[in-house]
């Protein structure tokens, strides 16, 4: 299935049905009185977060979505039926914004979450609503109210705990294959990853975290080089970034330090908050470095890169060093979750009940 993480749609809730003007006509009842019913409300448009979806491709080619209008009121005190609602299934992590103003309207963050994105119009009143002691034969009615109509932009940001950064062929896909259930395409040429991949890493019984692999970045991605940097949006909800570096490039003219600095610069250009996220350095492909040269090469890289954060040395192909890394990641993710769930400390002076 083609991965699509952005789409524009037009939605229209149903209009309300019109009220009815009618009078009761029965034998021996010359003045039966009004009996025109109200119109039915228009159908609503709902959005539901479906955990079985991971792309917005359905909305790339189907842009218009309309709910049914309510039926008109009828005589004999009969109200019109409500219009049929429609439900749009979207992936978890979808952000719904107003396409004209850019205002964020809704976010679907919980599987099964249902929100109303357009309300149907209320039905109009029939003439029986206007009956009174001084107006026994009203001929008034009201039309149904129009339903909401919106032009929306859908943007998918995948929900993951850990995001992978790196140049094409740095070994990100091999790493996510080694530690999780994901099976992305792996080949010996650049840009084999063309869309984000998610993998669940099992650390123990009921202990896991989610890793997101995005297409590789190159220098100038912010200007459109390579596949651009739009896929970085999928890392904005992560708790940790793993910067994976190929420590043994095939071309001797390629400097891993220069490549790593280019990735950091592209990250900073895209989003300062993403740049400020916790980031660990993962030096990959140690199996291709002679054992007696590994320590010196790692020290040289860290020194020239001027890196002061955590450093992990692995080989994603042979899985050497992967086990300690995933346990360290799990501990970090758990600590971040505990921090988010900690109760907010309240000043004792304001600890009492709030005034009504």
Report the binding-site residues for GTP: 166-173, 191-195, 213-216, 284-287, 315-317
Rounded-to-integer distance, Cα 141 and Cα 162, Å: 59
CA-CA distance, 144 to 291, in Å (whole number)? Answer: 79
Q: Please state, in angstroms and rounded to a whole number, the distance separating the CA atoms of residues 279 and 239.
A: 9
Q: Answer for the pair 117, 105: CB distance below 8 angstroms, yes or no.
A: yes
**CA 30 to CA 186: how far, in whole Å?**
85
CB 129 within 8 A of CB 38: yes
The dihedral region occupied by 239, where left means phi > 0, alpha psi between -120 and 50, and beta the remainder, is: alpha
Query: Residue 55 contacts by C-beta under 8 Å, 6 or more apart in sequence?
Result: 1, 2, 3, 4, 5, 91, 156
Longest distance between any two alpha carbons in the chain, whole Å: 111
Distance (Å, rounded) from C-alpha 38 to C-alpha 129?
8
Please give the Cα distance from 201 to 162 (Å, whole number). Answer: 10
Coil, strand or helix: which one is 279?
A: strand
Binding residues: 166-173, 191-195, 213-216, 284-287, 315-317
- Sequence ranges of the binding site for Mg(2+): 173, 193
Comparing CA positions, the residue from 280, 288, 286 lying closest to residue 332 is 280
Q: What is the DSSP letter of 320?
A: B
């Amino acid at each position: 299935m083609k991965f699509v993480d952005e789409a524009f749609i037009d939605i229209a809730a149903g209009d309300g049905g019109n009220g009815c003007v009618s009078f009761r006509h029965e034998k021996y009842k010359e003045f039966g009185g009004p009996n025109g019913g109200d119109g039915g409300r228009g159908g609503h448009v709902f959005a539901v977060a479906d955990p079985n979806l991971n792309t917005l491709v359905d909305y790339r080619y189907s842009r218009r979505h309309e709910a049914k209008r309510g039926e008109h009121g009828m005589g004999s005190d009969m109200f019109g039926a409500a219009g049929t609602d429609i439900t749009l299934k979207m992936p978890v992590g979808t952000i719904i914004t107003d396409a004209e103003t850019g205002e964020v309207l809704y976010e679907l963050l919980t599987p099964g979450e249902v929100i109303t994105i357009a309300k149907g119009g209320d039905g109009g009143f029939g003439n029986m609503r206007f009956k009174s002691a001084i107006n026994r034969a009203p001929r008034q009615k009201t039309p149904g109210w129009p339903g909401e109509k919106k032009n929306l932009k859908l943007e998918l940001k995948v929900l993951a705990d850990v995001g992978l950064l790196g140049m094409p062929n740095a070994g990100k896909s091999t790493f996510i294959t080694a530690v999780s259930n994901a099976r992305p395409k792996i080949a010996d040429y650049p840009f084999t990853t063309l869309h984000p991949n998610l993998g669940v890493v099992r650390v123990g019984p009921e202990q896991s975290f989610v890793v997101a692999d995005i297409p590789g970045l190159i220098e100038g991605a912010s200007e459109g080089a390579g596949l651009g940097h739009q896929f970085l949006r999928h890392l904005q909800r992560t708790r940790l970034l793993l910067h994976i570096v190929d420590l043994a490039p095939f071309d001797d003219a390629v400097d891993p330090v220069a490549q790593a600095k280019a990735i950091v610069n592209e990250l900073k250009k895209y989003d300062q908050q993403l740049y400020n996220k916790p980031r660990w350095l993962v030096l990959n492909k140690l199996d291709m470095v002679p054992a007696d040269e590994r320590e010196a090469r790692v020290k040289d890289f860290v020194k020239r890169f001027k890196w002061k954060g955590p450093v992990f040395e692995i080989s994603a192909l042979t899985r050497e060093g992967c086990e300690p890394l995933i346990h360290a990641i799990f501990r970090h993710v758990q600590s971040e979750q505990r921090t988010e769930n900690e109760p907010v400390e309240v000043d004792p002076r304001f600890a009492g009940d709030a005034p009504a």
